[in-house]
Structures are given as C-alpha cells and as structure tokens.
Amino acid sequence: MRKICVIGVGYVGLVTGTCFADLGNQVTCLDIAEDKIEKLRRGEMPIYEPGLEELVARNVTAGRLIFTTHYRDAVPHADFIFIAVGTPSGVDGEADLKYVRMAAESIAETLTHYAIIVNKSTVPVGTGDSVAEILIERGKQPGVDFDVVSNPEFLREGSAVYDFTQPDRVVLGATNRDAADQVAQLYLPLRCPIMITDLRTAEMIKYASNAFLATRISFINEMAAICERLGADIKEVAAGMGMDKRIGRAFLDAGIGFGGSCFPKDVKALTWMAEMNDCHPQLLRAVMDINRDQRRRIVTRLRELLGNLRGKMIAIWGLAFKPNTDDVREAASLDIIHILQAEGAHIRAYDPVAMETAQRVSRDIVFCGDAYAAAEGADALVLVTEWNEFKQVDMARVAAAMRRKVLVDGRNVYEPAQMRALGFEYRGVGRGY
C-alpha cells in the first residue's frame, strides 16, 4: 500500500485521489477550502461527476480515503504528493500559477523525508523546474531530498472516473528516470500504455493535445458556416470525413463550440507561451476566434428570425458547458445569455444539473423546474447543451406551449424536417438552409 497525498479536491484532484484509493492505496486529499473538506467529510460532493460519490463513499468506509485542510497531517506521511490545484487564466491568457506556488511552498515547509512531487495540474512548460526551485529554497528540513515528476491529466468532465480507470495512456516526465518509474508503478494495475519522457516534453504533451482537439472543433464549425452558405449538411459532411481512418470521427460535431475549464484556458496559455518565445501562433489565435464567433452566430440567427430582441422571451435549454457536469466555466450559455440580455431579451432557463452553479454567476434569469416550463410562452428556444433529457422531450408539447415556434438547435440534436413538420422555424448549425 502506497501513501499518497493529493492537493486540491476539484475535478482532477478528487477523482485522482479517490481512484488511487480504489486501487488499494492510502490516500489523503488536502484542500485549504474548509467548506469543501467539510462537505466531503459529510459525504457530500463539492462537484458533480457521475459515479464519483459512490466511489468516495466506498473508499472512505474502507479507510483508504481521508480528507484534511492541514499540510502537516498529510505531507510528512506521503510517499507521493500530487499537486492538482487550479491554474486559471491570467490577464493576458497566461496560466496563473499562484496556487501551484502556494502548494509547493507548503510542501517545502512540511516535507520531512524523501518524496516524489507529482505535478498533475496543467502547468506551463518549465513549471516542473520552478517547483523544484521552490522546494529547495523554502525547505525547512536540511538534507531532505525529493524528485519532481510531471504527470499531466487527460480527464474529461462527465466521464472522469472512466478516463482515470481506462486511460488511453499515462504520460510521465522526469529528470530522474527512477522517480518516473516509481510513479508508473501506481498506474500498473490499469494495464495501460505508459510514456516516460523529460519534464518539459510531458508538460507540452498536455497543451498540444488540448490545442489539437480544440482545433478540430473550430475546424468543423468553420466548415459548418461554409455549409450553410453552400447548401450542404455538416452532419453528413462530418460523417463522410470520419470514415477516413486518417481523420476519424471524434470531435467533429458542429455546434456552439468548446468551453469548460480546459480547452479555452489551455489554448490561451499555449498562445501566450508561443508569443513570449518569439513564435507566431496564428492557428491557435484562429481557433479561439472561431470559437468566440460561433456563440455570436446563435444571437445573429435569433435576430434574423425574431427581428429586434428587446422584450422577447428566450428559452435556454442547457447551462453547463457540456452534458454530465455542473460546470459553467467558459460555458457558451453564459456568453449567449449575456448578449441577449444586453439587447433587452428576457431569459428563461433550465439545466438538469447546473442551475445552482449558474445562479452564482448569472443574474436576471428565470430558472425553471423542467424543460417544458422554460419553453412556456417563449418567443424562441435555444438548445445549448445536448443533455440526453432534451433528446427525449415531447417537442409537439413544446411547440404548443411556445408563443412563437422558433427553435435554434445549437448542437444539431433534432432532425430539421421533423421539427418543421411540428411547425417550428428551425435553425441548426451548418444544416444547409
């Protein structure tokens, strides 16, 4: 049984710590946010992630998973210390490393024996070296040795537990190969490919992976805009492209674009790193521009269908940036709502999970109890998040409840012909009008 400390109980830290405990390790999850730790001690989840609550409860009961707010309770006993704190965007798009630095300083002050410090947070290239410098400069116990390993995460919100237990690969970067091998031992029960490289390459793999996936999304959305002008159907185009083994079908669904805590932040951070090192990341800039414009296109469609939006009632289905999460960070819904409200529209919204989260950051929205209530009396309905619940809604009932039957399908969930047969003025994304 290995003793592991995981710092941070967000999506990455809590999933990582819980899954390592489920593999038979002794895990202490540490966070300085007392409210989050108290919730976890009561068996309440600070985040929504399918399957996680049951996994936490099982390992707490088994005594393999505990929670604390104190470094002195976790660091002195740990063989591996994972840093899994947030790295939000700074003013110019750079990754803000204040939480990483705070964690490294606290580790240095409480480390009493050799341990392997593992950077799980998404951090700029070179952060592994910076963490090592902090540990050397701030260490309180003379002669205490350590190694730093980069272990970028590839967890998708909404399927994070599956992604941890069934990974495509585990990437490890280190100066000391033996330290990387020791971290690799933690992952051996998963029977997945393990790639070991140097620190900076491992850090770059994470950014390059997310930037490429974001690029695919922006590419297909740009194709969708062209399809609309030329009368082609982007869903069929994507299906035909995806049959080519060189291309594949993943991340080729046209829609409102990407959001969440990873893709926007990481593309901005990689762009900033490139610019600071005399590179010219035109493609990365275009990826972000297309993503921003895709959200504005939704409002443009509403103007085309409704005219002046002042006083119009717009129903929004879906607030989370994707299904199976309550996360609204960089969510398309919030940008669309903000623009609509600026033009004088009134908003009624429903999301199966994310309404409580959205209420903390949005104002003057009527939050409804279900999809039908949100559509009641609306001049237009915009589907933003493709929750399965919305795929099963009685759209005839929805049409009857609306004041005007305008449907903007931001995720191409519905078939245009069927919706028009129900009387909707239907607009999807790239469906060849």
Average pLDDT across each block of 10 residues of the chain; the chain has 433 residues. List them in order: 95 97 98 95 93 96 97 95 95 93 96 96 95 91 91 95 97 98 98 97 97 98 96 96 97 96 94 96 97 96 96 98 95 96 97 95 93 98 97 97 97 96 96 78
| Sequential DSSP letters for 153-199 | --PPTTSHHHHHHS-S-EEEEESSHHHHHHHHHHHGGG---EEEE-H
**What's the pLDDT score for residue 432?**
75
* DSSP H helices in 231-262: 234-242
- Separation of alpha carbons 433 and 427, rounded Å: 8
- Separation of alpha carbons 71 and 67, rounded Å: 11
- Separation of alpha carbons 221 and 171, rounded Å: 30
The answer to whether residues 395 and 419 touch, using CB atoms and an 8 Å cutoff, is yes
Q: How many CB atoms lie within 10 A of CB 208?
A: 13
Q: Which of the following is catalytic: 19, 29, 262, 368?
A: 262
The answer to whether residues 26 and 17 touch, using CB atoms and an 8 Å cutoff, is no
Ordered by where they begin, the domains of the chain are 3-197 (3.40.50.720), 213-427 (3.40.50.720)
Catalytic: 192?
Answer: no
**What's the pLDDT score for residue 433?**
67
**What's the pLDDT score for residue 315?**
98
SS (H, E, C) 316-379: EECCCCCCCCCCCCCCHHHHHHHHHHHCCCEEEEECCCCHHHHHCCCCCEEECCCHHHHHCCCC
The answer to whether residues 424 and 383 touch, using CB atoms and an 8 Å cutoff, is no
**What's the pLDDT score for residue 140?**
75
- Separation of alpha carbons 183 and 245, rounded Å: 34
- Separation of alpha carbons 4 and 81, rounded Å: 6
Of the candidates 165, 161, 293, 285, the residue with the CA atom closest to the CA atom of residue 221: 293
